[in-house]
Structure 1
Amino acid sequence: MRFQEIAPFFKGRLPGQLVIQYANHCNGDCPQCGMRRSRSMERSRLDKEKVKRLIDDAGERGFQALSFTGGEPLLFLDDIIELIDHATGAGIRYVRTGTNGFLFTGSERPDFETRINTLAARIAATKLYTFWISIDSADPEEHERMRGLPGVIRGIEKALPIFHAHGVYPSVNLGINRNTGGRDARLYRPDLDPEEFSRLFCAAFRRFYGFVHGLGFTIVNACYPMSDDGDSQPDSKDDRGAAAEGLAKVYGASSDDLVIRFTLQEKRRIFQALYETIPQFRDRLRIFSPRCSLYSLIKRYQNNEVPLYPCRGGHEFFFVESGQGRIHPCGYLPEVFAELPDLRRRPSPSAKRPDCHLCEWECFRDPSEMMGPLAELCTRPLSLVSRIFRDPGFFRILLDDLRYYRACDFFNCRLPPNLAAMHRFAAGGEQP
């Protein structure tokens, strides 16, 4: 780990993260996303040169991570490759992007391997840290129906060895939904017994992890369900006024479709199922989802406990939308910032401290939960001690997560899995 990656902790900050929605154009038809191709909406794309200037600002001001998202980023493959090179050249190490997999369709065509070799070589020639491919269901037919991309699973299976040969290990990105384990009508029933709901989701996660491991993936992440339904958000003491009404109005990567809409107690059971399932696969898959964050979410929904560490969106983490290129605290709050802060400096004494618990957007929430204690250790150690006494279980799980992340080489897509190091983390684990 480089000095500039730990220096922010000594200023009470976290390493900065910027998510740039390069465009909201998409060729998928995912019911869980408001940017699906069948939806009538104004489509937009950022000016590439303006994005470069924003990246330069981020690099100069101490940002360490940057993601290019969409829409479908690889509809603009040449631009994304150029911007990846620009970001890493600006000193930003953790650069990420991904795809719905449309380039992997047509695997029966004679030019498929040539096309994928060319794509893999182009990505390998960059310093991209993470390359994700989205899969929504362990049932290939269900996934392809949801995405509107027939044949994509077979293409992904054929493409992964080609990427591995080029030294790139793509991640699979799951957007948790009711079809995660395959379509099961019981999970759509409002009168389903809660215990049965839990059992079905445990089985769904097991089936999904087994499925993607069989395809050849070595890294897995899960996106927590985000819907446009305000009733699916917990009560919050946050003082942002009508902020809850602004959720999901910036990014657009959410929907009011039942496939992604859950009650508060259904969410709790989903997080519990994921928390319990992860250890069963940690010895063979590099699973990015931190159990300490899931532990906090479970307690939040079960006991109405406020998580120990708030989201750092709007403090060190920011989102840039594709419409006007405006800077927001995250993908789900409409507040606008004139510029990125200088993360090399301590926050102003008059600056508002992080206090947001409005949603579960894992892109910002998970790193806030994991790295918040490190900033506190470096600046307010007595406060950290108080939190440890308040919830020792959280910190035991956090330490386990950090050791596991190290065994996974921090999910660097340029490295194969270290199965010997990962084997120590199979099964077991603290219960919330």
Structure 2
Amino acid sequence: MIPFQAMKSFFKGRIPGQLIIQFSNQCNAACPQCGMRRSAAIDRNTLPTDQTKQLIDSAAENGFQALSLTGGEPLLHLDMLLEFINHARQAGISHVRTGTNGYIFQGSDKPDFEKRIHRIAEGFSKSGLSSFWISLDSANPEDHETMRGLKGLIKGIEKGLPIFHAHNIYPSANLGINRNTGGSNPLLYQEGLESEVFFELFKEAFRKFYKFTLDLGFTTTSACYPMSHEEEGTEEEHAQGESSHDISTYGATSTDRVIHFSPREKGLIFQALYETIPEFRSRLRIFTPLCSLYNLVRQYRDGMESLYSCHGGINFFFVECGQGKIHPCGYLSESLSELPNLQKRPHTKSDCNQCEWECFRDPSDLMGPFAEFFTSPFKLFGKLMNNPKYYNILRKDLHYYRACNYFDGKLPPDYTKLQKFSKGL
């Protein structure tokens, strides 16, 4: 069932509040798609423990229901991370999540590997962590490990997943969509590739990725939409992967060719993912909602206005590690003096669609209609009449989310429930 606190938010015309705290930007990976990679010439910062706890307390007091603790690489500060998770749960935040670039899975052939992974998984289980993601860039092990600059990850993940499952932690394979998703393919790096070819290549790439995660033993997957920018770097720099200047508040972006896509390409990628996900919903818990992809396809492929704008700065907020400033999201640079009280703050209209980052866009699309029902029911009815397909997709998404136990990362999948989705779209 949908948590009571979430229902209370909808009654007030709001979406359950979410806060992302980037408590450190230190990282030990070489990912070309990220501006925080270990070779990046940036200031490295970690928020003080007391300041982070104060932010968590403020979030709990002001009605936030979900917290993401991110980096950099969060597990470089494992003891601190566990302390924050436990503190958040004690403060009353119901859903706390974090993840890793996977470096902990290196050295799977060493005698202490299983003991070390047991210790980490047990720590997360006792802390009250709700969900845990492991980044996975490619269906080809060599490509993934090369991009990360970390060898031996895939064998370690395959060996480590059963250990996490034994501690009732069911990690999600988190795909950062890029040109190597299905394995390195030179065609996807060509300029001006025909739309149909590009679309089919990405559709096959997504199929390979989902099959790969199943083979590794994952029960859940999620996806980060392309975090690229159009404003920085010349076309030649993008093609050669030489431009990597980051212009977002959150440093996990890049203009490297591996992650740089034009709006046309993004529309094709969203369409390919939209068509591929239903093929795997009976075997994997895939967090990515089809209603969000449908909205993004309308926006990027068809040039239409988004049905539901992002709730960043309204119900969702981001804290960067440099000075602990609060921002509407990880994309916009404007800052706030303090977290708003979501329990008392009047409903605010959402009208931002400047990026397609899934952390805020997906829940905005998935839950926006419920908030709108209590604030603008006639507007919702008009949308329903003009866009019945969107709301039919949303209805199916909600049935699927229920079958997935709302993606509670502490529960195993119920394949009996998932089999109902074997027919796809």
TM-score (norm 2): 0.95
Does residue 378 (structure 1) correspond to residue 377 (structure 2)? The answer is no
Which amino acid in structure 2 is aligned with residue 164 of structure 1? Answer: H
Measure, in 1, the Cα distance between the counterparts of 2:294 and 2:349.
23
Give the aligned partner of residue 340 of structure 1.
339
Give the aligned partner of residue 248 of structure 2.
249
Measure, in 1, the Cα distance between the counterparts of 2:295 and 2:108.
42
Q: Report how far residue 427 of structure 1 moved.
A: 3.6
Give the aligned partner of residue 283 of structure 1.
282
Query: Counterpart of 1:259 in 2: which secondary structure?
Result: coil
Measure, in 2, the Cα distance between the counterparts of 1:135 and 1:384.
37
Q: For residues 384-399 of structure 1, what are the structure 2 equivalents within 5 Å?
A: 384-399=380-395
Which amino acid in structure 1 is aligned with residue 388 of structure 2? Answer: P
Give the aligned partner of residue 26 of structure 1.
27
Q: Report how far residue 212 of structure 1 moved.
A: 0.6
Deviation string, structure 1 residues 100-152 (Cα, Å, up to 9, x no partner): 01111000111111111111111111211110000000000000000001001
Which amino acid in structure 2 is aligned with residue 342 of structure 1? Answer: N
Question: Given that residues 32 and 256 in structure 2 are in contact (C-alpha distance below 8 angstroms), is that contact kept between their aligned partners in structure 1?
Answer: yes
Give the aligned partner of residue 222 of structure 1.
223
Question: Given that residues 232 and 255 in structure 2 are in contact (C-alpha distance below 8 angstroms), is that contact kept between their aligned partners in structure 1?
Answer: no
Change (3 A) 1:205 1:322: same
Give the aligned partner of residue 73 of structure 1.
74
Q: For residues 254-403 of structure 1, what are the structure 2 equivalents within 5 Å?
A: 254-347=253-346, 353-403=349-399
Does residue 64 (structure 1) correspond to residue 60 (structure 2)? The answer is no
Measure, in 2, the Cα distance between the counterparts of 1:266 and 1:48.
42
Question: Given that residues 160 and 216 in structure 1 are in contact (C-alpha distance below 8 angstroms), is that contact kept between their aligned partners in structure 2?
Answer: yes
Query: Counterpart of 2:393 in 1: which secondary structure?
Result: helix
Measure, in 2, the Cα distance between the counterparts of 1:3 and 1:166.
27
Question: Given that residues 281 and 424 in structure 2 are in contact (C-alpha distance below 8 angstroms), is that contact kept between their aligned partners in structure 1?
Answer: no
Structure 2, unmatched stretches of 5+, are 234-244
Deviation string, structure 1 residues 329-358 (Cα, Å, up to 9, x no partner): 00000010111111112416xxx5211011
Q: Report how far residue 248 of structure 1 moved.
A: 4.0
Give the aligned partner of residue 132 of structure 1.
133
Measure, in 2, the Cα distance between the counterparts of 1:186 and 1:264.
18
Give the aligned partner of residue 86 of structure 1.
87
Does residue 410 (structure 1) correspond to residue 401 (structure 2)? The answer is no
Give the aligned partner of residue 142 of structure 1.
143
Measure, in 1, the Cα distance between the counterparts of 2:44 and 2:339.
25
Query: Counterpart of 1:125 in 2: which secondary structure?
Result: helix
Q: Report how far residue 167 of structure 1 moved.
A: 1.2
Q: Report how far residue 247 of structure 1 moved.
A: 8.4
Measure, in 2, the Cα distance between the counterparts of 1:287 and 1:386.
30
Measure, in 1, the Cα distance between the counterparts of 2:232 and 2:9.
36
Identify which of 414, 417, 421 aligns with 2:417.
Answer: 421
Question: Given that residues 227 and 248 in structure 1 are in contact (C-alpha distance below 8 angstroms), is that contact kept between their aligned partners in structure 2?
Answer: no
Which amino acid in structure 2 is aligned with residue 213 of structure 1? Answer: L
Which amino acid in structure 2 is aligned with residue 77 of structure 1? Answer: L
Question: Given that residues 22 and 68 in structure 1 are in contact (C-alpha distance below 8 angstroms), is that contact kept between their aligned partners in structure 2?
Answer: yes
Question: Given that residues 292 and 397 in structure 1 are in contact (C-alpha distance below 8 angstroms), is that contact kept between their aligned partners in structure 2?
Answer: yes
Query: Counterpart of 1:67 in 2: which secondary structure?
Result: strand
Q: For residues 208-219 of structure 1, what are the structure 2 equivalents within 5 Å?
A: 208-219=209-220
- Matched pairs, number: 413
Question: Given that residues 230 and 262 in structure 2 are in contact (C-alpha distance below 8 angstroms), is that contact kept between their aligned partners in structure 1?
Answer: no
Change (3 A) 1:295 1:397: same
Structure 1, unmatched stretches of 5+, are 233-245
Question: Given that residues 105 and 160 in structure 2 are in contact (C-alpha distance below 8 angstroms), is that contact kept between their aligned partners in structure 1?
Answer: yes
Change (3 A) 1:231 1:394: farther
Give % identity: 57
Q: Report how far residue 425 of structure 1 moved.
A: 1.2
Give the aligned partner of residue 193 of structure 1.
194
Measure, in 2, the Cα distance between the counterparts of 1:398 and 1:377.
14
User: 143-152 vs 301-310, which deviates more?
Assistant: 301-310
Which amino acid in structure 1 is aligned with residue 314 of structure 2? Answer: H
Q: Report how far residue 390 of structure 1 moved.
A: 1.7
Which amino acid in structure 1 is aligned with residue 118 of structure 2? Answer: N
**RMSD across aligned positions (CA):** 1.4
Question: Given that residues 17 and 66 in structure 1 are in contact (C-alpha distance below 8 angstroms), is that contact kept between their aligned partners in structure 2?
Answer: yes
Query: Counterpart of 2:301 in 1: which secondary structure?
Result: helix
Which amino acid in structure 2 is aligned with residue 299 of structure 1? Answer: R
Measure, in 1, the Cα distance between the counterparts of 2:248 and 2:168.
38
Question: Given that residues 246 and 254 in structure 2 are in contact (C-alpha distance below 8 angstroms), is that contact kept between their aligned partners in structure 1?
Answer: no
Q: For residues 88-167 of structure 1, what are the structure 2 equivalents within 5 Å?
A: 88-167=89-168
Change (3 A) 1:413 1:119: same
